[in-house]
Amino acid sequence: MARKTDSVLESAAFRQLMEEGCTVLRLHAATRLSMQAYNAFMAEVDLTMPQFATLASLYQEDGLSMAALAQLIGVDATTLTRNLRLLERRGLVLQDTAADDRRRRVVRLTPEGRRLFLRAVPLWQKAQAALKKRLGVTLTEALHKQLTQVVEKLRGS
């Protein structure tokens, strides 16, 4: 352990980190810890939560381009490229080259993709209910509202 006399120990930055902690590290930890439970519920349909998120976005708005879908989900477009590949292999989504601009890919759910997604929804609900139970209703709902704001503010830019 560092000696108390280290000059850095007196810095405002250091004290802030040790006393308040880091927003993103808490976000990340909360994500990891809760995602595991969700993934366990989803195992029955062999979908991870990122995959479920992708199918859900396409269910709501089909025929998006890679860039648009990536922005909606909040991942880098290159991440989406790899993630879609797995769903494509399983026949859950399809990519077509757009007729008007051959650079663009149009991503769509297949009937199997839609069916699997709808089968996953009640499993998701169980996971969501389990988390709410562990965290308590008050905390869950407050957190939910604030996260909605956070994602909105970060997604735009």
Partner DNA sequence: AGATAATAGATGTATATACAGATATTGCAG
Partner DNA sequence: CTGCAATATCTGTATATACATCTATTATCT
Residues forming contacts to DNA in the complex (CB under 7 A) are 28, 32-33, 36, 39-40, 48, 50-51, 65-67, 75-79, 81-84, 86, 95, 101-105
Q: With binding defined as CB under 8 A, does residue 124 bind its own copies?
A: yes
Q: What element of type H or E holds 65? A: strand 64-65
3-class secondary-structure state, position 37: helix
Nearer to its own copies, 8 or 99 (CB): 8
Sequence-separated (6 or more) residues with CB below 8 Å from residue 102: none
Per partner kind, with CB cut-offs from 5 to 8 A, the member of its own copies, DNA, none near residue 30 is: its own copies
Cα separations (Å) of 11 from 1, 4, 16, 17, 59? 17, 12, 9, 10, 50
Number of residues that bind its own copies (CB under 8 A): 68
- Alpha carbon 33 to its chain centroid, in Å, reads 13
Q: Considering only residues 84-113, where is the footprint of its own copies by CB under 8 A?
A: none
When CB distances are held under 5 to 8 angstroms depending on the partner's kind, the choice from DNA, its own copies, none that residue 5 binds is none
Q: CA dist 50 to 38, 47, 107, Å? A: 11, 8, 16
Residue closer to its own copies (CB basis): 5 or 102: 5
The residue within the footprint of its own copies, chosen from 43, 44, 46, 74 (CB under 8 A), is 74
Site for its own copies in 22-61 (CB under 8 A): 22-35, 38, 49-50, 52-53, 56, 59-61
Token pair for 11: 């810095």
In the numeric block, which tokens belong to residue 23? 């927003």
Return the number of other C-beta atoms located less than 10 Å from residue 23's C-beta: 9
Return the one option of DNA, its own copies, none that residue 112 interacts with (CB less than 5 to 8 A, by type).
none
Show the tokens assigned to 108. Answer: 């769509």
| Measured distance CA(35)–CA(19) in Å, rounded | 27
Question: Which positions lie near its own copies, rule CB under 8 A?
Answer: 1-2, 6, 8, 11-14, 16-18, 20-35, 38, 49-50, 52-53, 56, 59-62, 73-75, 114, 118, 121-122, 124-125, 127-128, 131-132, 134-136, 139-140, 142-144, 146-151, 153-155, 157
